[in-house]
A = this chain, B = another copy of it.
Amino acid sequence: MEVRSQKMVIQLYDTTLRDGTQREGISLSVNDKLKIVRKLDELGVHYVEGGWPGSNPKDAEFFARVKGIQLEQAVITAFGSTRRADVLVQDDPNIRALLEAETRAVAIFGKSWDLHVIQVLGTTLEENLEMIADSVSYLKGRGREVIYDAEHFFDGYKADPAYALRTLQMAERAGAECLVLCDTNGGTLPSQLVAIIEEMKKVTSTPLGIHAHNDGDLAVANSLAAVQAGVVHVQGTINGYGERCGNANLCSIIPNLKLKLGHDCISDEQLRQLSSVSRYVSELANLAHDAHLPYVGHSAFAHKGGMHVNALVKCEESYQHVDPALVGNHKRVVVSELSGKSNIAYKIEEFGLDLSISPEQARQALQQIKDLENRGFQFEGAEASLELLIRRTQPGYEPPFELIDFHVLVERRQGRGMLAEVAIKVRVGDEVTHTAAEGNGPVNALDLAVRKALLPFYPQLTEIHLTDYKVRILDSEAGTAAQVRVLIDSTWRSRTWSTVGSSTNIIEASWQALADSLEYGLLNGLGVCNP
């Protein structure tokens, strides 16, 4: 199928540091922001919107410090609004802050929607036009490249097309380098959006941009449709972070532009960094990376259905729309009770294990996986436990520690809070350690106690952190007698691994996942600074 659009160079404009931080729960330090700037520059993004210097001192500090960073190509951009109503542009503190940021480019937004001009700004339609013209030409006169963001452009056009168009023409005549049409409320459909862009192309000659939000689950589609309609500048954020349902996701837009539409924007080599940039930003934003993100998610190329895995072995493209390596991701075959022996061999290679497994050992490992899955374990999400299971099939396997016993006491006495205490006995080599700890719950106490017992032997455990603890009730109809599955994620530096346990007793299930997480770390030399 031929895609009907000319190949073009598309400008990528990242607003993760400004609009992205409007997402509930995100707050980036100035240091985090500077780190992300470097990553975005490496990725090949053309503009990086750093923040709104007029709105808060943190953003002003960012602009002061970002000047010291050598960048390959990214143009740092300061964001702000048009001047206030009834104020001289040179006296407007927001405009002054924009200049003080000393960036080569500035983005300013103005109102396109009559409802906003009258009800929100409380000014007149004419004054709003003057505000746009004044602000653009003043910043142009001070040598800035001006990107004009037409806020609510599509909603404004739906309400009063003639007025929306006039606002855009004011910015164009005042010298804006790019007119960015914003779907600020995110509710416009691609068909409406394209029809409006077609109208705009008839009456403006300045390059057009698109800024989409995801309230209709259409932000990526709207951005691509805009490009297919002739727009050359695309705004978005890494991982689609943003207020409400997020902004257009650059991690989906970039590969769609390059791999599906054939437009030039970043190099092939840069595209291969995409998954790593996506994870890096989520890391700094302190958000779990969404496994199901298109192209860059951990599960984006994970195959679970037995039939699909079978087909993939025969032909890679049978259930993959692109080669995952192009975006720095990789295929995963999820091992479950439906797997064959070839999955085990596949996994040994994937884990990079230096061991040979006989067909008989593979059969045993598989049988053990099936037995454990019957008892509620699940290795799909717990590949470290799977690796240990395979290693333990090897004759002469020596675990780094061994549990002898533990007991857990949880007590509630009237007038006192809850108490959770654990006593534990473990063996390392020939030495047996018996110790105890308290925690804010029984599992926390167990975690603290086992670490206390092992630390004298393995000081590197202080570097290994438990970052995620999940509990799932398997047969919840069994009430409090139900089978429980526990999944634990652990990290050391940028390395993350997952382990599993299962039992009707949540303490036992937690113990299994916890012990595997530590055993895996110790066996793989993690936590040691120079391994």
Interface status of A42 (Cβ within 8 A of chain B)? no
Interface status of A202 (Cβ within 8 A of chain B)? no
Chain A residues near B (Cβ < 8 Å): 1, 3-4, 22-25, 27, 29, 31, 115-116, 119-120, 154, 157-158, 184-187, 189-192, 195-196, 214-218, 220-222, 224-225, 228, 243-246, 249, 252, 256, 260-261, 286, 288, 291-295, 297, 299-305, 308, 310-311, 314-315, 317-322, 334, 378, 380-381, 403-414, 418, 420, 439-444, 446-447, 465-473, 475-482, 484, 488, 503-508, 510-511, 514
Q: How far is the CB of A402 from chain B (nearest CB, A)?
A: 10
Please state if A408 and B405 are interface contacts (CB–CB under 8 Å). Answer: no
Q: Which of B119, B380, B510 contacts A318 (CB 8 A)?
A: B119
Q: Which of B23, B195, B469 contacts A473 (CB 8 A)?
A: B469
Please state if B321 and A187 are interface contacts (CB–CB under 8 Å). Answer: yes
Measured in the bound complex, the distance between the Cα atoms of B480 and A440 in whole Å is 9
A220-B217, A409-B407 given as contacts; is B480 within 8 A of A466 (CB)? yes
Q: Which of B186, B293, B403, B473 contacts A321 (CB 8 A)?
A: B186
Q: List 23 A-B contacts (CB under 8 A).
A: A119-B315, A120-B311, A187-B260, A187-B322, A189-B260, A190-B224, A217-B295, A243-B302, A244-B303, A286-B472, A286-B473, A286-B477, A288-B477, A408-B409, A418-B503, A418-B507, A418-B508, A441-B503, A442-B442, A466-B479, A469-B480, A471-B471, A471-B506
Q: Which of B216, B334, B468 contacts A479 (CB 8 A)?
A: B468
Please state if B414 and A405 are interface contacts (CB–CB under 8 Å). Answer: yes
Cβ–Cβ < 8 Å partners of A465 in chain B: 479
Cβ–Cβ < 8 Å partners of A404 in chain B: 414
Q: Which of B216, B245, B439, B441 contacts A484 (CB 8 A)?
A: B441
Question: Top 9 closest A-B pairs, CB basis?
Answer: A187-B321, A221-B221, A466-B479, A217-B252, A441-B505, A408-B410, A217-B220, A185-B321, A447-B480
Please state if B505 and A29 are interface contacts (CB–CB under 8 Å). Answer: no
A311-B116, A470-B476 given as contacts; is B221 within 8 A of A218 (CB)? yes
Please state if B318 and A116 are interface contacts (CB–CB under 8 Å). Answer: yes
So how many copies of this chain end up in the complex?
2
Measured in the bound complex, the distance between the Cα atoms of B228 and A195 in whole Å is 14
Please state if A221 and B187 are interface contacts (CB–CB under 8 Å). Answer: no
Q: Which of B291, B315, B407, B473 contacts A471 (CB 8 A)?
A: B473
Measured in the bound complex, the distance between the Cα atoms of B24 and A318 in whole Å is 19
Q: Which of B218, B299, B380, B446 contacts A244 (CB 8 A)?
A: B299
Closest residue on chain B to residue A293 by CB atoms: B245
Closest residue on chain B to residue A21 by CB atoms: B304
Please state if B25 and A506 are interface contacts (CB–CB under 8 Å). Answer: no
A215-B300, A252-B217, A504-B440 given as contacts; is B184 within 8 A of A480 (CB)? no
Measured in the bound complex, the distance between the Cα atoms of B412 and A511 in whole Å is 11
Measured in the bound complex, the distance between the Cα atoms of B243 and A320 in whole Å is 11
Contacts beyond the supplied A24-B299, A215-B294, A410-B507: 5 A-B pairs with Cβ under 8 Å: A1-B196, A115-B315, A214-B292, A215-B300, A444-B480
Measured in the bound complex, the distance between the Cα atoms of B477 and A155 in whole Å is 40
Q: Which of B220, B303, B317 contacts A218 (CB 8 A)?
A: B220
Please state if A261 and B506 are interface contacts (CB–CB under 8 Å). Answer: no
Please state if B442 and A410 are interface contacts (CB–CB under 8 Å). Answer: yes
Q: Which of B29, B120, B303, B482 contacts A314 (CB 8 A)?
A: B120
Closest residue on chain B to residue A31 by CB atoms: B477
Measured in the bound complex, the distance between the Cα atoms of B1 and A195 in whole Å is 8
Cβ–Cβ < 8 Å partners of A187 in chain B: 260, 321-322
Measured in the bound complex, the distance between the Cα atoms of B119 and A228 in whole Å is 35
Q: How far is the CB of A318 from chain B (nearest CB, A)?
A: 6
Measured in the bound complex, the distance between the Cα atoms of B1 and A189 in whole Å is 10
Q: How far is the CB of A253 from chain B (nearest CB, A)?
A: 8
Measured in the bound complex, the distance between the Cα atoms of B299 and A310 in whole Å is 40
Closest residue on chain B to residue A223 by CB atoms: B217
Q: How far is the CB of A82 from chain B (nearest CB, A)?
A: 13
Cβ–Cβ < 8 Å partners of A217 in chain B: 220-221, 249, 252, 256, 294-295
Please state if A244 and B301 are interface contacts (CB–CB under 8 Å). Answer: yes
Q: Which of B27, B418, B503 contacts A505 (CB 8 A)?
A: B418
Closest residue on chain B to residue A504 by CB atoms: B440
